[in-house]
Amino acid sequence: MNQILMFLDQILSSNIVRDITIYDILSTVLKYIFVLIIYRFILNIVRMIYLDIHSISSKDVLEGAFLRLINRKEEFDFQIKDIYPIESSLSIGRSRGNEIILEDQFISKQHAQISKKGDKFIIEDLNSANGTYLNGYRIDKPEFMEDKDIVSFGDIEFLFVKGEKKYE
């Protein structure tokens, strides 16, 4: 082992040009590579921040009421949209007959229903096993929803946005 270390020391400490050794060249190259790796890492972080801000701020302009996903889509192992427009009614559950299909183990087949009555929106739990939550409280009867209410089904949270405002 000593022989190997002595051999490496001999090679690395040999002068190539005047007082410049292979060690000096190698260490300088490795410093620049390290700096490039750090810059690449910082660039990736800035890019992720930009994409995250851009995805929040550049959503489609929506004038009607909608549910906006609060959780990150990557948290789930099933397909889920960022925005679900609400026209006259919207059914939520695990079965394929719903407008919002949430294939989560804590969601019932027919979990909840959102319906429009005049200019108001009502959310109703359809006797789901794990309940429907409005602003952190489990609902047991139909409840009116207000702008910026948080609606939860299992671990999935949505922000209710009442229409007539343009979000860009």
**Predicted local distance difference test score (pLDDT) of residue 115:** 95
Number of domains in the chain: 2
Residues 30 and 94 in one domain: no
Residues 74 and 123 in one domain: yes
Residues 73 and 150 in one domain: yes
| Beta carbons within 8 Å of 109's beta carbon, 6+ residues apart | 93, 94, 95
**Predicted local distance difference test score (pLDDT) of residue 21:** 81
- In this prediction, the residues of the chain whose per-residue pLDDT falls under 70 are 54-62, 164-168
**Predicted local distance difference test score (pLDDT) of residue 9:** 79
Residues 66 and 141 in one domain: yes
Residues 85 and 157 in one domain: yes
To 10 degrees, what angle do helices 2-12 and 22-57 make?
80
Q: Give which of 107, 150, 158 is closest to 130, Cα–Cα.
A: 107
- Residue 168 included in any domain: no
Residues 74 and 150 in one domain: yes
Residues 69 and 119 in one domain: yes
Instruction: State how beta strands 89-93 and 100-101 pair.
Output: parallel
Residues 46 and 65 in one domain: no
Q: Give the count of beta carbons closer than 10 Å to the beta carbon of residue 43.
A: 10
Residues 155 and 75 in one domain: yes
The half-sphere exposure of 48 on its side-chain side, counting CA atoms within 13 A, is 6
Q: Give which of 104, 106, 122 is closest to 114, Cα–Cα.
A: 122
**Predicted local distance difference test score (pLDDT) of residue 165:** 46
Residues 147 and 71 in one domain: yes
- Residue 167 included in any domain: no
Residues 48 and 67 in one domain: no
**Predicted model pTM:** 0.60
**Predicted local distance difference test score (pLDDT) of residue 167:** 45
**Predicted local distance difference test score (pLDDT) of residue 54:** 65
**Predicted local distance difference test score (pLDDT) of residue 38:** 97
> What are the structure tokens assigned to 152, written together?
């939860």
**Predicted local distance difference test score (pLDDT) of residue 141:** 95
Q: Which domain holds residue 17?
A: 1-54
